[in-house]
Copies of this chain bind each other. A is one copy, B any other.
Amino acid sequence: MELADAIASTRAIRRYRPDPIPDEDLAAILFAATRAPSGSNRQPFRFVVLRDHQRTARARALLGDAFRAAWDAKRDADGYDRGSGQDPSTPKARMAATMEHFVDHIADAPVIVLACLELRRPPGLHDGASVYPACQNLLLAARDRGYGGVITMWHQLVVDELTDALGLPENVAIAAAIPLGRPAGAHGPVRRRPMHELVFEDRWGSPAPWATEPERVGVAGGPPTPTME
């Protein structure tokens, strides 16, 4: 697949067919992840690939519980059941339905990749530059092979239990939990703000007149969709 097409069409996928992911595809996806840059090329990223459902039952159950609890809290805090959320035809209500399905089934995803980071000190924002480029390579390579996934952070609710269940060393942080599988059902386009809201030239707020979308790509204007893309 052409790079430009992969980048323009990789979006969050939260519903998966049950098909397992063959060795060859997983190898290509993880190879892509490990090619990413990192600070001083130290490559502190590590990937724990949860695959065998029986061997990873404890970790999957922990993630399932955490995602359910996190979504319940977000559903309430962000008012998914109020206003337009009460009309099932609205984007808000459809997003809520997608999230319900997601948290009900996350534990059964064909594969869940835990993107980890070996630390030399308590991590800050900039340490993310040594693991999240790898996560993006992983998602692009998954897209290239017909899979989809999403970068999630709700593992944080059970990080101590997960650390114990998976035998993570003390100096290792889980930077993201990324479920992967063949997309099930229909998925909308990548929805992003128009470029002129995101790109400036020479100075903050100064328009970059050249920063326009390729003609064939639609963009979502207005407020961002309340999803986890």
Contacts and interface: CB of A to CB of B under 8 A. Distances in A.
Interface in A11-64: 11-12, 23-24, 26-28, 30-32, 34-43, 45-52, 55-56
A198 B41 contact: no
Interface stretch (A82-90, A101-109, A179-187, A203-211): A203-211
B129 A153 contact: yes
Interface in A191-211: 191-193, 195, 198-205, 208, 210-211
A175 interface: yes
A195 B91 CA distance: 41
Contacts of A173: 125
A132 interface: yes
A38 B168 CA distance: 26
A222 interface: no
* Best-surrounded residue of A3, A36, A156, A225 (most CB of chain B within 10 A): A3
A97 interface: no
Interface string A135-178: 11101110010000011010010000000001111001101100
A140 B36 CA distance: 10
A133 B117 contact: no
Contacts of A48: 200-204
5 contacts: A31-B214, A31-B217, A37-B139, A48-B200, A132-B132
List 5 A-B pairs, minimum CB-CB distance, nearest first.
A128-B128, A23-B210, A132-B132, A133-B136, A41-B229
Given A36-B136, A37-B136, A37-B229, 6 more contacts: A8-B32, A11-B37, A34-B192, A47-B199, A131-B132, A132-B132
